[in-house]
Chains A and B, each alone.
Chain A
Amino acid sequence: MAELNPGSGGSHKKDGKIRAKKHNTKVDMTPMVDLAFLLLTFFVLTSTFSKPKTMEITFPVPPEDDVVIEPMKVNGYTFILTKDDRVFWYNGEFKAEPKNGMPATVLNEVKFGEDLNKLLLDKNDMVAKEIKDLKKKRISKEINDSVYKELAIKAQSNKEAPFFVIKADDKAVYRNLIDIIDEFNICNIGKYAVTDIIAGEMALLKQATE
């Protein structure tokens, strides 16, 4: 390279051969590497892997005009969402006034979070136990995943299982709806629906919140 070799010129002439210059085979890769890492950093920072998650929900088909709507059964629970993240609930059929010796509907308040979770697990006791057993069986490899799923759905859609209805007044926010559906999913409640609030419930709700 930078070495001087005074003898080389003479020897060149002597044997008359022309030797090809020896090139260094190594190429300086630094700029290429710089660029590669720059691109790498860019793509790593800008890409988001996770696709958004979703919650599947089926809304009830509105009843035909001539169909009489069955009143809520004893194992039916109605949850009403309202402003300031408050939730109220009552059991069974809605009664504005005492009827057939049964007292009028009273709204109970429950807080989001652990209280609601406890309440739901308590009401959904039967299904929750069944699912727990199934989970145990799955962990001990007695049943495989697909069988577990099938049985879990069966347990959730059991005829005897309680039914839950979600209603919301016009002051509730969307987050409340998602929160309560999520809580239902956590508590393995398979039978629930979102419907419109009725005037009687609105009146009770107004009393309760004021």
Chain B
Amino acid sequence: MPKIKMPRSSPSLDMTPMVDLAFLLVTFFILTSSFRAPEPVQVITPSSTSDKLMPENAVLITISDSGKVFFNINGSDVRIKVLEKMSQKYKIDFTKKEYEEFSGMASIGVGMKNLKKFINTEPAKREKFKSTGIPMDSLNNQLRDWIQAGWIEGMTKYKELKDQAKESGKTVQVEPLRFAIKADGKANYIVVKEVIKTFTDLRIFRFNLLTNFEQSKDE
């Protein structure tokens, strides 16, 4: 019986296309990803069918399930200016290093008295730092001051960017400052109402409520 000879083929194959693709993907992911600073609380937002995207330029108020309130604003230069405003108002001085540290942080949920201590805590240990939420009772409404400072600085930045876009003649879309509320589904309505009242007292009436996207049943 004649033996059937298998055609000999080299066991090593050309990996170049695969490697090309792998590097392309790696480059893509590296360029598109931006790292987020860890949030002090885990918030599970309720789901809705709304598919509007979260605005890029926004003052974000987070409300945890136990009713603690946190403040956050995007952009490191804006954050520094906001802290400057707050430091003037509450007569607490911060060092340059503290400003820098603050600019890279996520939401903050401590009163002005503890803010210095919170900033100086190591990032890894911040999770264990007991966030009491920003005080917002009528006598000591620090949340109001944070929002006001964020509003002024955010708007200034927006105007600057807009002017720049106008000067350069490019049609760059500059997003105006928005106000977003990210509350846990289990948070008591009273707290949300209180936060909204703080906003409406400042004559801010338009909000974005953060939700999880869920497909509508009838579509």
- Residues of A at the B interface (CB closer than 8 Å) are 29, 32-33, 36-37, 39-40, 43-44, 46-47, 50-62, 81, 168-179, 181-182, 185-186, 196
CA distance A178 to B182 in the complex (A): 11
Q: Is the interface of A mostly helix, strand, loop or mixed?
A: mixed
- Chosen A-B contacts, 8 in total, with CB atoms closer than 8 Å, are A40-B22, A40-B26, A47-B32, A52-B45, A52-B54, A52-B210, A169-B189, A174-B188
CA distance A43 to B53 in the complex (A): 23
Q: How far is the CB of A155 from chain B (nearest CB, A)?
A: 18
Is A54's CB under 8 angstroms from B211's CB?
yes
| Proximity string of chain B (45-80) to chain A, C-beta cutoff 8 Å, 1 when within and 0 when not | 111111111110000000100000000000000000
Interface size on B, residues (CB 8 A): 49
Cβ 8 A contact of A40, one of B25, B182, B193, B212: B25
Q: How far is the CB of B99 from chain A (nearest CB, A)?
A: 28
Query: Count the A-B residue pairs with Cβ separation under 8 angstroms: how many?
Result: 142
> With A40-B25, A53-B52 known to touch, is A173 a contact of B188 (CB < 8 Å)?
yes
Provide the residues of chain B in CB contact with A181, threshold 8 Å: 48, 209
Q: How far is the CB of B151 from chain A (nearest CB, A)?
A: 16
Is B50's CB under 8 angstroms from A177's CB?
no
The answer, yes or no, to whether B200 is at the interface (CB within 8 Å) is yes
Is B207's CB under 8 angstroms from A56's CB?
yes
Is A58's CB under 8 angstroms from B211's CB?
no
Provide the residues of chain B in CB contact with A29, threshold 8 Å: 15, 19
Is A54's CB under 8 angstroms from B26's CB?
no
CA distance A174 to B44 in the complex (A): 11
Provide the residues of chain B in CB contact with A47, threshold 8 Å: 29, 32-33
> With A43-B29, A174-B192, A182-B50 known to touch, is A56 a contact of B185 (CB < 8 Å)?
no
- Additional A-B contacts beyond A43-B30, A56-B207 (15; CB < 8 A): A29-B19, A47-B29, A47-B32, A51-B54, A52-B210, A53-B52, A53-B211, A54-B180, A56-B209, A170-B189, A173-B188, A174-B183, A177-B189, A178-B48, A185-B50
